[in-house]
């Protein structure tokens, strides 16, 4: 059952997508990924969501078989689609948009054999661009996630016990997350970026490079999943960076806070303060119409002026961004990178995460989620930002 408050929002998304379909000069779009099907329908099913350039959508559902609704057709296999189109007066598409970044080669071939498309346009990029601008309903879901995120972080100090490893600490935080309503998993657009609920980094593990495109790495527990906590014992003088995702609704907030076992070296506090200065400068600058690349340049200039460029966004391997879009997935556009061509627009949401890695200590810095407005930024994740001592 779709929430009544969601119906108007889904209609708005449909109109946005149909506008993009027409601008691409195609006849329609087939969606198969769970994230994009959810975005367009408010639910997830196995099968196809089809939207023509003009008119109403059609749902072709393999499972669950219990799903019912207007213009919903049960199918067992892809090859049934042409007959359903013909029997129900649906116009057969020729130029089509397909999620070629998400859809398997086999599925593309089967659809091509069914419809004999004259042209296929990549719908994956189209959908990621449409989803960049959040609707009123989506923004309301972000606010709920942000509240759950802050509620969990308020209990992190209670999770600490002397003699813990980073993994043991993370397990206790994850328990609180789940009790506070966290879904327990979160989605990335990159199929190879596997991580569970977030990351805890401390000591020299914070400088360990990862093959994944996260801001910082960590060695992880296994070469099969080389990211995050690795069993490091939490000792005095260590910074403990907690970067756990806020998946308390379908819409993800991203927030990082730094905790300390005892007191840290002065360099760590100075670097942390620099990250807060970068955040303040971004808040003073960013609004609808500002280039994402400009925000990266400003962040790097502040780090360089502080003499901290060498440890900004990593040590042995540096991330080439200082922020990223958030939504149904944690790594959506826009990305705050020097190569970005994106311009901020009202309704975009992104996480800003200026971070520094201090040798032998760990990572320090801040991360918050923001909503772009016409006049500036609204901070969604509100929680104390100083380094918090664990006792």
As a whole number, mean pLDDT of residues 144-164 equals 98
Interhelix angle 123-132/34-41, nearest 10 degrees: 50
Each residue of 117-134: pLDDT tens digit? Answer: 999 999 999 999 999 999
- What pLDDT does 185 receive? 87
Q: Which residues contact 223 (CB under 8 A, 6 or more apart)?
A: none
Neighbours of 77 (CB within 10 A): 9
Q: Which of 16-25, 64-73, 106-115, 338-347 is predicted least confidently? A: 64-73
Could you tell me how far CA 336 lies from the centroid of its own chain?
Answer: 14
pLDDT 10s digits, 201-230: 999 999 999 899 899 999 999 999 899 999
Q: Which pairs from 188-194 meet CB under 8 Å and 24+ separation?
A: 188/329, 188/330, 188/331, 189/128, 189/329, 189/331, 189/332, 190/331, 193/331, 194/225, 194/227
Residue located via tokens 């367009």? 40
Segment 105-116 shows an average pLDDT of 96
Lowest mean pLDDT among 1-10, 27-36, 47-56, 290-299: 1-10
Gap between the Cα atoms of 67 and 151, Å rounded: 35
Tell me how far apart the alpha carbons of residues 203 and 231 are, in angstroms, rounded to a whole number.
11
Q: Give the integer Cα–Cα distance in Å for 14 and 57.
A: 9
- Is the pLDDT at 320 greater than 70, yes or no? yes
Contact call for residues 197 and 184 (beta carbons, < 8 A) = yes
Better-scored residue on pLDDT, 1 or 10: 10
Give the C-alpha separation, 351 to 354, whole Å: 10
Statement: residue 2 has pLDDT above 70: no
What percentage of residues in the chain have a pLDDT greater than 90? 92
Helix/strand/coil percent split, the chain, to 5: 35, 25, 40
pLDDT band at 174 (very low <50, low <70, confident <90, very high): very high
The answer, yes or no, to whether residue 27 has pLDDT greater than 90, is yes
The whole-chain average pLDDT of the chain stands at: 96
Answer whether residue 150 shows pLDDT above 60.
yes
When pLDDT is averaged across residues 364-368 and rounded to a whole number, the result is 98
Amino acid 194: pLDDT: 81
Average pLDDT over residues 252-263: 98
- Of the candidates 274, 244, 253, 254, the one whose C-alpha atom is nearest the C-alpha of residue 364 is 274
For residue 293, the model assigns a pLDDT of 98
Which ranges constitute the DSSP H helices of 219-309?
266-285, 292-305
Predicted local confidence at residue 105, as pLDDT: 95
Q: Per-residue pLDDT tens for 53-96?
A: 999 999 999 999 998 888 999 999 999 999 999 999 999 999 99
Residue 1's pLDDT is what? 47
Structure tokens at 87: 């029997």
Beta strand residue intervals within the chain, DSSP E: 28-31, 46-52, 58-63, 72-74, 95-98, 119-122, 198-202, 238-246, 253-261, 323-325, 332-336, 349-352, 355-358, 362-365, 368-372, 377-379, 388-390
Residue 20 has pLDDT above 60, yes or no: yes
């Amino acid at each position: 059952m779709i929430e009544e408050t969601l119906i108007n929002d889904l209609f708005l998304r449909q109109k946005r997508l149909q506008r993009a379909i027409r601008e691409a000069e195609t006849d329609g779009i087939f969606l198969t990924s769970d994230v994009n099907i959810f975005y367009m329908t408010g639910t997830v099913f196995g099968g196809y969501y089809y939207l023509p350039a003009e008119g109403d959508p059609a749902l072709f559902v393999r499972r669950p078989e219990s799903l019912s609704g207007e213009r919903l057709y049960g199918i067992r296999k892809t090859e049934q689609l042409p007959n359903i189109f013909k029997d129900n007066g649906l116009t057969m598409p020729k130029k089509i948009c397909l999620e070629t970044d998400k859809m398997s080669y086999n599925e593309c071939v089967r659809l091509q054999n069914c419809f004999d498309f004259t042209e296929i346009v990549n719908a994956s990029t189209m959908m990621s661009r449409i989803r960049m601008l959040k609707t009123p309903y989506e923004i309301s879901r972000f606010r709920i996630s942000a509240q759950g995120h802050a509620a969990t972080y308020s209990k992190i100090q209670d999770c600490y016990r002397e003699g813990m490893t980073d993994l043991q600490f993370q397990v206790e935080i994850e328990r609180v997350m789940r009790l506070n309503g966290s879904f327990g998993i979160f989605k990335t657009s990159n199929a190879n970026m596997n991580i569970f609920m977030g990351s805890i980094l401390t000591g020299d593990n914070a400088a360990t490079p990862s093959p994944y495109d996260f801001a910082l790495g960590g060695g992880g527990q296994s070469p099969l999943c080389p990211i995050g906590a690795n069993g490091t014992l939490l000792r005095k003088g260590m910074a403990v960076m907690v970067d756990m995702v806020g998946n308390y609704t379908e819409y993800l907030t991203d927030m990082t806070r730094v905790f300390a076992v005892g007191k840290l070296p002065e360099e760590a506090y100075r670097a942390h303060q620099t990250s807060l200065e970068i955040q303040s400068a971004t808040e003073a600058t960013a609004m609808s119409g500002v280039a994402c690349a400009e925000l990266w340049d400003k962040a790097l200039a502040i780090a360089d002026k502080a003499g901290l460029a060498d440890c900004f966004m990593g040590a042995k391997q540096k991330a080439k961004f200082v922020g990223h879009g958030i939504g149904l997935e944690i790594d959506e556009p826009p990305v705050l990178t020097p190569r970005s061509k994106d311009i901020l627009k009202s309704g975009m949401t992104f996480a800003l995460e200026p971070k520094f890695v201090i040798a032998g200590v760990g990572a320090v810095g801040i991360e918050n989620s923001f909503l772009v407005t016409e006049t500036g930024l609204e901070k969604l994740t509100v929680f104390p930002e100083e380094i918090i001592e664990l006792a």
